[in-house]
Copies of this chain bind each other. A is one copy, B any other.
């Protein structure tokens, strides 16, 4: 198992009358990696770097053909795993010599200046501003990596590798590729298998010869982020059938095993990420992940027990469960006028989450209704996908939960509101940012390239946006927990 970017400090015998191997051959023999491409830039540096030295450090990356010598003579080396989300960019820096992850940082995707949703950005791109959208993204990534390097004590030129997971539109923007065919029937991207590039051809301010790998997609609706998430879950290498639930700006579900993988994405719009409700936030210190309502009393649990500043996806699941259990919302998710802590604000009902010592946080009816749609979409996705492959909920051995829902979710409450079937908590594995985790895994083991290709080839996509069965089942799922309780059984 060799990392995607490996560093080797090796002895290099000087040429003699009995050893007239060319400089590049001595390096090849020393590395023993085949096939190895040595770029012209490295060849040009080689004699100066070797002269008078008995040892040389080599940084070896990969390309489509095999291995590629990224640099020689460099003293430090790191790599970055990057998740390009529609809303956020998240990046982890890994020390290539020590082999450990050092730091993860996050920033807003600066394309948000062109619109928070992907369709608006596509519209801008198709109106002649594609270059701006790509340029803005690259600038934002350069800024994020510069910050990451600065905080971790590296120089951007020390970054010799970059793995990139993003949805198909984000990957195309990243590569400067045309996006105009992606949202238009028959939804065909320029490429499904981007593979390897060098930093210089992408305008990235890292080592110009750094190996940049972009995860393959499985079509316009199943991006490299999902492929990376499936890799991180391990779903695709198991004999048993598992489910991966990823809730980000969109809700996506993958079901499968080592033989087949079916992916569906939710049509019911935004789910649980920050930006959806006014107080919605990603899981971090001070964010509510659990709520309990007893009588008049509303208690919130926050990460690190800090004063509450917002609520994450798991907190929303818990909140809706408690609101329903205490009769504050009805089966349809509507706040009852006059119930405890319910007041009218700006012409709509609103529930005030009184957290001792914290701010006065509130959630509106329309935010609750959006969440009802999200939870309904999630369950319907699970129902329709398992049904499509003839698998019952009871046959699922493991459920990986990634994204906004992943951290701190109370599985029984999720089942209680009909968002998940009644799975035992023990089979649930939280993954956090699975897309980033997949990109990080590849940094640790470059041999995963084959597994990644295999995953993207095994994926079948079930289009839900205009699926009559999905729409029919969805209508029963926008109630708490469901109009047909038998469907929730495991």
Contacts and interface: CB of A to CB of B under 8 A. Distances in A.
Interface of A: 15-17, 19-25, 35, 37-38, 40-41, 43-44, 46-48, 63-66, 175-178, 180-181, 185-194, 197, 201-202, 219
Nearest to A172: B43
B189 A23 contact: yes
A193 B24 contact: yes
Contacts of A191: 22-25, 38, 43
Report copies per complex. Answer: 2
Contact of A46 (B19, B64, B190): B190
B186 A48 contact: no
A190 B43 contact: yes
A466 B3 CA distance: 49
A47 B178 contact: yes
Nearest to A180: B47
A43 B189 contact: no
A176 B40 CA distance: 9
Contacts of A181: 15, 23, 47
Closest 7 CB pairs of A and B: A65-B65, A47-B178, A15-B188, A22-B192, A24-B191, A23-B190, A17-B186
A188 B12 CA distance: 14
Contact of A40 (B40, B64, B65, B197): B197
Nearest to A39: B201
A22 B190 contact: yes
A219 B38 CA distance: 18
* Max count, chain B CB within 10 A of own CB: residue among A22, A25, A66, A202: A22
Contacts of A41: 201
Nearest to A184: B15
Contact of A187 (B20, B190, B201): B20
B20 A186 contact: yes
Given A43-B175, A177-B44, A178-B48, A188 B65 contact: no
Given A22-B189, A22-B192, A35-B65, 8 more contacts: A15-B186, A19-B186, A23-B188, A37-B64, A37-B65, A40-B176, A40-B197, A40-B202
